[in-house]
Amino acid sequence: MSVSTQRCDGTPIIRAEQLAVRYHRRTVLDVDHFDLCDGETHVVLGPSGSGKSTLLRILGLLERPASGRILLDGEEVEAGDKKARMMMAAVFQNPYLFKGTVEENVAYGLALRRVSKAERAERVARALDRVGLGGIERSSALRLSGGEAQRVALARALVLEPRILLLDEPLSYLDPLIKRRLVADFSEILSAEGVTALYVTHDQDEAMVVADRVSIMHEGRVVRTGGVDEVMSLPTDAWVADFIGMDAALRGTITGSEEGIAEIAIGGELVYAATPLPPGIEVLVGIRPEDVMLFEASHELPASSARNHLLMRVEAIERRGSTDRISLASSGLRLAAAVSRAAVRELGLEAGSTVAALFKATSVRVQAAASVPGGV
Amino acid sequence: MDIIFNAVEEAVRLLAAGEVGVWGIIALSLRVSGISILIAMGIGIPLGYLIGSRRFVGRRFVQVVVNTGMGLPPVVAGLVVYMFLSRSGPVAEVWVNLANALSPGGAPHPEPRMLFTVGAMLVAQVLISTPLVTGVTAAAIGSVPIELRLQARSLGASAWQEAVLTVKEARRGVMAAVVAGFGGIISEVGAVMIVGGNIEGSTRVMTTAIVLETRKGNYGLALALGFILIGIAFVINNGLTWLQQSGSRYER
């Protein structure tokens, strides 16, 4: 399994080419290429209306595209191909449990596959155990809490032991506390099962927990695909950068390298990054805001393992949930820091003030510029 | 006041005595409307499913026809069926031509008698109840979220299995459709009077008998049949309520 490149190493389970979907003559999906690799959890991330759920329904053979083709294990398949669809199972945003008991719900797909009653009961019990709901077989499916219902929906899909699991915003209806717990559980279950999963969400935190690879969608197109670290730390265009809350990736050149730490010249500054890339090549560099620590510029800096110390000017302060986002600039280098509100007050940060920004060489993501198609 | 007391007394006596004529009328009513509703379900539930769940060319037209049919006065349905089935109507003409063509040279076939038969009443009742079953079923199916059907499909359901699940999900509405259809025809008098002719022992049903006996001043017999009609309505409604409540353990 390859999780850091644009395409899979071997034959992808699903490969889609030149997909287009139009509703009322409006193009809602226009994807040149999409691979789902064997064993990966591939998150399709994007704002609402970006076409990610449509992509899931097309790849899940639940809907027919206007044009394009889908290959399953290298063979072309059509929407509605029953044999191909039997390899997949889906969990949607709303759990859509059927009237009846939890057991009847989880056993639904098994009954369709003519699995014997005895085996059904055994597999249902096992699936419910796996999602942490053992023993509720006889309860009404429609009287469960939101979190329980979504776990049952996951069990209903997992019990089929699908090769491909399709998850369409499975947690977005839940309140934050339950969601946090379930994200962790889902992530654990997905990796333990070794199932290949296509996971659609608009939530970046969720994506970063569950994903091996991420594709970002915008206005019906896949604008970025790659390993989760690379995609979430190295935005290659202004839109992606804005979407993931970073500044666009910086462009620099490796000027030296020692013990796995490269010295990268960006504008008039030098940044140190842990990367095996050799000197002389042009790279894209990304630093996630939560990895940047700020200190008062005039004070002595604390002893720290952070290799990078830069004096930077505060350009803007933007309120974002629990933290503030501080836009920083120095000669030719721009980055952002996520800082608690208390720290903003303590440091007396305001537009125009100067601060010391610290970040570790290991938190700097670096990629050869030539390897990113349509880079900055 | 006496007229009422006497009628009630007479009605109870007739029913208790098990008068063959009274029970024969009741049995015929139930048989005709029972068979009609089964046929209407056979047409109306699949058609209602299609209208409620699919987009197809001509869907709106079918919807308009069904909605119009739901509001069709039964007496008009009776009139239409009467004209079609009468000896000079199109059905008889086709029938005779076909029969003559199949045995040329023989004696000319007489026109069949289709009016004033149980068959004619069935046709009229199916015509009245099918739009009701179709329309109410379509509304019930339409209220099942499309994502639920997508969910079933994503777990491997075929089109048929998806339809079965959807009808099950909408079963309260579908049951209401059947009850509405049955209620519409068991209590209907105009159409069966026109096409059945209210012939004693052959096409006389409860509603036509009530009309006749009331005219003749036999209030006791009319009321006895009225009791049974009310009783049927009571049993059906209670049965439906019971069914709904027994299912509600698993409902939202």
Question: Which among A89, A18, A36 is positioned nearest to A211, based on CA atoms?
Answer: A36
Q: Which amino acid is at A213?
A: R
Q: Is A44 on the interface with B (CB under 8 A)?
A: no
Shortest alpha-carbon distance between residue A208 and chain B (Å) = 26
Q: How many CA atoms lie within 13 A of A105 on its CB side?
A: 34
Query: A86 — contact with chain B (CB < 8 Å)?
Result: yes
How big is the CA angle at A146 (ends A141 and A148), to the nearest 5 degrees? 60
Q: Which residues of A touch B155 (CB under 8 A)?
A: 89-90, 108-109, 112, 156-157, 160
Q: Decide the pairing of beta strands A354-359 and A293-296.
A: antiparallel
The answer to whether position B251 is within a domain reads no
Residue located via tokens 């099918």? B130
The residue whose two tokens read 């359901």 is B157
DSSP string, A188-220: HHHHHHT-EEEEEES-HHHHHHH-SEEEEEETT
Q: Is residue B252 part of a domain?
A: no
List the Cα angle B18/B23/B25 in 5-degree steps: 150
| Confidence (pLDDT) at A369 | 84
Whether A96 contacts chain B with CB within 8 A = yes
Residue B55 placed within a domain:
yes
Contact A92 B145 (CB under 8 A): no
Nearest CA in chain A to B156: A86
First to last CA, chain B: 50
Interface test with A, best of B55, B171, B250, B251 (most A CBs within 10 A): B250
Tens-digit pLDDT string for chain A (376 aa): 333 456 787 789 999 999 999 988 888 999 999 999 999 999 999 999 899 999 999 999 999 999 999 999 999 999 888 899 999 999 999 988 998 999 999 999 999 999 999 999 999 999 999 888 988 999 999 889 988 999 999 999 999 999 999 999 998 888 888 888 888 888 888 888 889 999 999 999 899 999 999 999 999 999 999 999 889 888 888 899 888 888 888 889 999 999 889 999 998 899 999 999 999 999 999 999 999 999 988 777 777 778 899 999 999 998 887 889 999 999 878 899 999 999 898 888 889 999 999 999 999 999 888 876 644 4
CA distance B156 to chain A (A): 5
Domains in chain B, number: 1
Q: What is the pTM of this model?
A: 0.78
Query: How far, in Å, CA of A124 to CA of B142, rounded?
Result: 31
| Residues recorded for chain A | 376
Q: Report the pLDDT value the prediction gives residue A1, as an integer from 0 to 100.
A: 38
Nearest by CB to B249, which of A62, A140, A156?
A140
The structure tokens listed for A24 are 């009322």
B-chain CB neighbours of A85 within 8 Å are 153-154, 156
Please report, as a single letter, which amino acid is at residue A159.
Answer: V
B84 located within any domain? yes
Say whether B155 and A99 touch across the interface (CB within 8 A): no
Considering only the beta carbons, identify the residue of B150, B158, B251 that sits closest to A62.
B150
Q: Which among B183, B199, B194 has a CA at the least distance from the CA of B75?
A: B194
pLDDT of residue A375: 42
The whole-angstrom distance between A205's CA and the closest CA on chain B is 26
CATH code of the domain containing B231: 1.10.3720.10
Cβ of B152 within 8 Å of Cβ of A62? The answer is: no
Between the CA of residue A237 and those of A130, A233, A242, A264, what are the distances in Å? 41, 12, 9, 20
Residue B26 lies in a domain: yes
Q: Which domain holds residue B172?
A: 2-245
Distance from CA of A164 to the nearest CA of B (A): 11
CA A274 to chain centre: 23
The residue among A290, A299, A292 whose CA lies nearest residue A348 is A299
Instruction: Answer yes or no: is B13 within a domain.
Output: yes
Nearest Cα residue to A245 out of A257, A233, A254, A255? A233
Q: Decide if B251 and A100 are in contact by the 8 Å CB cutoff.
A: no
CA distance A11 to A74: 7
Residue B106 has pLDDT above 90, yes or no: no
| DSSP string across B113-179 | --TTSHHHHHHHHHHHHHHHHHHHHHHHHHTS-HHHHHHHHHTT--HHHHHHHHHHHTHHHHHHHHH
**Sorting pLDDT into bands at 50, 70 and 90, what band is B248?**
low
Q: For an interface test with B, give the residue of A82, A91, A98 to mutate (most B CBs within 10 A).
A: A98
- Does a structural domain hold residue B250? no
Q: How high does pLDDT run on average in chain B?
A: 89
Asked if residue B104 is part of any domain, the answer here is: yes
The gap from C-alpha B43 to its chain's centroid, in whole angstroms, comes to 12
Of A89, A140, A143, the CB nearest to B155: A89
Query: Which secondary-structure segment (H or E) carries A308?
Result: strand A308-320
Does this complex have an ipTM over 0.90? no
